[in-house]
Amino acid sequence: MAKPILREITEHICGLDQDGRVQLLLTYCLGRLFMREHGKGGDWRALAASVDGGHIADWLRAAVANGDPWLSNVDELDRPRKLMKFGSVQQVAAEADKAMAKANQAVVGHVADGEEFVMDLGNGMYVVRLLTPEALDYESSVMQHCIGHGGYDYSLSKNDRHFFSLRSGSAKPHVTIDIDVASGWVNEMKGKQNAHPDPAYVMALTPFFKSRPELQFMRHTGLVFDQHRNLVHVRSLPDGTVLEGDLRINGGAELVLPKNLTVKGDMEITFVKKVTLPENLNVGGTFMIEACAVEGRIENLVVEGWSTFFVDLTHAGPSFLGRVKAEHVGFDNTQMTELPEMEIESLAVERMPIADLSAVSELDGLKLLRLTELPNVKELPAPTALGQLEVYGMPIRDFCQLPDAHYICFSDMDIGLLPENLTIAGTLTFNRCKLAAIPGGLTVGNIAFIETKAPGFPDDIVIRAAGHTEARPTAAMG
């Protein structure tokens, strides 16, 4: 079941910062605008992906730490008027940029005694750890980002995050790194003005990260480790890349994946305008592509995790998949008109223009088959053995045959005819259905009517509820 939108937005806001005060301020500016976008029928997730929420959280955290006067200028609901005036997320981001730039202008000079030498990388490059608020201020002023001016001072005092800087022989900062001590997650790795670091500087940092095998990158950094513990950017993966951890990409105009790719963790691609698919893809965890336009075709897909989902995809051609080996595969609102060759245990096909489901009949031993709102499908497939069949909002009214399933559930259906002498070992459920008649010779483990008017029972119905056989039940079950 999908989470309520308010809960999803709250979880997103809370993920930007752990401080309750900062979370409340984020709710007043970003959360309010996300809810407004959803209320207009827009996509709040795409709106959230269009700005750097972490940067905005940094600005608000610094404002709280410094007691900025605007925090006290509140409306009748005790909300800072400054935050309530923003009409777009771009205005919020611009204000954050303006505030941090102003703070950086106030810092001059290099504070070497607030730093600790960590590693010589060769070629005149080295890494220092930033130990004092003054060192963070200097880093922020030169790099023109938001690590200084109080925003991260609390983490210094708690020692729960370590901050590092890549320097050249002139002591000039080039890359700033923020690492969570307990988890080993690299929260941020930024170049000047919060940009992605120059690839040459990323390569220079390879010995630093190889010396710390416990580290992993947060997905918004865009960086991952390959099989050689080299840093690679997710948008420029070389052919044959093997990623030891997860691959999660959200947003952006274009993503070209290599022809051959292995991801040993989870793989998730969401809200990318155009994705060029690999030809051969192996995923050790779960796999999902959502809200993207896809090009190309995955000829061989192997997913070892429980779920594989393709949601809200546009594409040319009847299918973007050749062969799939996975446990559960779900298609929801894609433009597919034919199913791939599949070796799977459960399948969901929902809200698609596909008409022919005959390929499903070749899938023996399915644990679950879910079919939802497929306007072009005129008859159900009949796999030889099926655990659970769920049929939602389908245009079929008369069923001359049904697959041999242990459980069958019809929802939001107008059902005229069901096959005679139907046998279902488990429960037959009608949920919000119009049902003309119960077929003769029906044998079920149980039968349920949910928001459905039960028609009369035939004389030869058998219901094996509670471990016994009962013919002609005296009351309908609801």
278-334 pLDDT, tens digit each: 999 999 999 999 999 999 999 999 999 999 999 999 998 899 999 999 999 999 999
The pLDDT score that the predictor gives to residue 418 is 94
- In which band, very low, low, confident or very high, does the pLDDT at 103 lie, cut at 50, 70 and 90? low
Asked if pLDDT for residue 472 goes beyond 60, the answer is: no
- Residue 121 falls inside a structural domain: yes
Residues 6 or more apart from 150 whose CB is under 8 A from it?
61, 62, 65, 66, 133
- Cα separation, 246 vs 45, in Å, equals 21
383 — pLDDT class (breaks 50, 70, 90):
low
Q: For 368-380, how does the pLDDT look when each residue is reduced to its tens digit (9 = 90+)?
A: 999 999 999 998 8
- Do 192 and 215 lie in one domain? The reply is yes
Q: Which of 86, 56, 59, 83 is nearest to 71 (CA)?
A: 83
Position 79, amino acid: R
Which H or E element spans position 339?
none
In a domain, residue 119? The reply is: yes
Within this chain, do residues 101 and 16 fall inside the same structural domain, yes or no? Answer: yes
Question: Would you state the pLDDT for residue 155?
Answer: 82
Which DSSP string do the residues of 106-154 spell out, in sequence order? Answer: T--S--GGGEEEEEEEETTEEEEEE-SHHHHHHHHHHHTSSSTTTTSHH
- What is the pLDDT, as a whole number, of residue 101? 67
Q: How far apart are CA 260 and CA 242, in angstroms?
A: 9
Assess whether pLDDT exceeds 60 at residue 476.
no
For residues 86 and 114, membership in a common domain is answered with no
What is the H or E stretch that residue 206 is in? helix 206-210
Q: Which residues face 209 on adjacent strands?
A: none
Please give the Cα distance from 251 to 43 (Å, whole number). Answer: 12
- Block residue for tokens 């592509």: 289
- pLDDT of 105: 52
pLDDT digits (tens, 9 = 90+) for 395-448: 999 998 888 889 999 999 999 999 999 999 999 999 999 999 999 999 999 999
Question: Is pLDDT at 1 greater than 50 in this prediction?
Answer: no
341 in any annotated domain: no
Residues 25 and 92 grouped into a single domain:
yes
- Mean local confidence (pLDDT), 170-192: 89
Q: Is the dihedral of CA 226, 231, 233, 237 positive or negative?
A: negative
Q: Which of 105, 140, 172 lies at the terminal end of a domain, its last residue?
A: 105
DSSP secondary-structure letter at 321?
E
Closest CA to 203 of 170, 184, 179, 226: 226
- Domain region containing 177: 107-233
What is the predicted pLDDT for the residue at 104? Answer: 56
In a domain, 349, yes or no: no
88-93, Cβ contacts within 8 angstroms, sequence gap of 24 or more: 88/33, 89/30, 89/33, 89/47, 89/48, 89/50, 89/51, 90/50, 90/51, 92/29, 92/30, 92/33, 92/51, 92/56, 93/51, 93/52, 93/55, 93/56
Say whether both 215 and 181 belong to one domain. Answer: yes
Which phi and psi angles does 273 have, rounded to 5°? -65, -40
Greater pLDDT, 478 or 456: 456
Cβ atoms of residues 228 and 247 within 8 Å: no
pLDDT of the residue at 385: 78
Is residue 54 located within the same domain as residue 77?
A: yes
Three-state SS string across 174-194, please?
Answer: EEEEEEECCCCEEEEEECHHH
Statement to judge: residues 94 and 152 lie in one domain: no
Counted domains in the chain? 2
Final residue of a structural domain among 216, 233, 250: 233
The reply to whether 229 falls in a domain is yes
How many whole angstroms separate alpha carbon 129 and alpha carbon 289?
38
Q: What is the per-residue pLDDT across 4-15, written as a single tens digit (0 to 9) for each? A: 889 899 999 998
Long-range Cβ contacts of 14-18 (<8 Å, 24+ apart): 16/53, 16/54, 16/56, 16/57, 17/57, 17/60, 17/61
CA–CA gap between residue 167 and residue 187 (Å, rounded): 19
Long-range contacts of 306-314 (CB under 8 A, 24+ apart): 308/283, 310/334, 313/289
What contacts 24+ positions apart, CB below 8 Å, involve 405-411? 405/369
- Measured between alpha carbons, how far is 45 from 137 in angstroms, rounded to an integer? 33
Q: Are residues 21 and 83 in the same domain?
A: yes
User: Residue 477: what pLDDT?
Assistant: 40
Same domain, 173 and 78: no
Residues 122 and 179 in one domain: yes
Percent of the chain scoring above 90 in pLDDT: 57
| Residue range 201-251, pLDDT digits in tens | 988 898 898 888 888 887 777 788 888 888 888 888 999 999 988 898 988
Name the token pair of 106: 């106030």
Average pLDDT of 84-88?
Answer: 94
Q: Is residue 460 included in any domain, yes or no?
A: no
Mean pLDDT of the chain: 88
* Token representation of residue 369: 């088959």
Q: Does residue 52 form part of some domain?
A: yes
Q: Are residues 81 and 98 in the same domain?
A: yes
Per-residue pLDDT tens over the stretch 26-42: 999 999 999 999 999 99
Distance of alpha carbon 434 from alpha carbon 301, whole angstroms: 40
How far, in Å, CA of 80 to CA of 70, rounded? 7
DSSP state of 95: H
Supply the CATH number for residue 190's domain. 3.40.630
Whether 182 and 149 have beta carbons less than 8 Å apart is answered as no
Coil, strand or helix: which one is 427? strand
Angle (nearest 5°) at CA 307 between 366 and 311: 105
25 within a domain of the structure (yes/no) = yes
* Final residue belonging to a domain, choices 207, 233, 259: 233
Q: Are residues 56 and 134 located together in one domain of the fold?
A: no
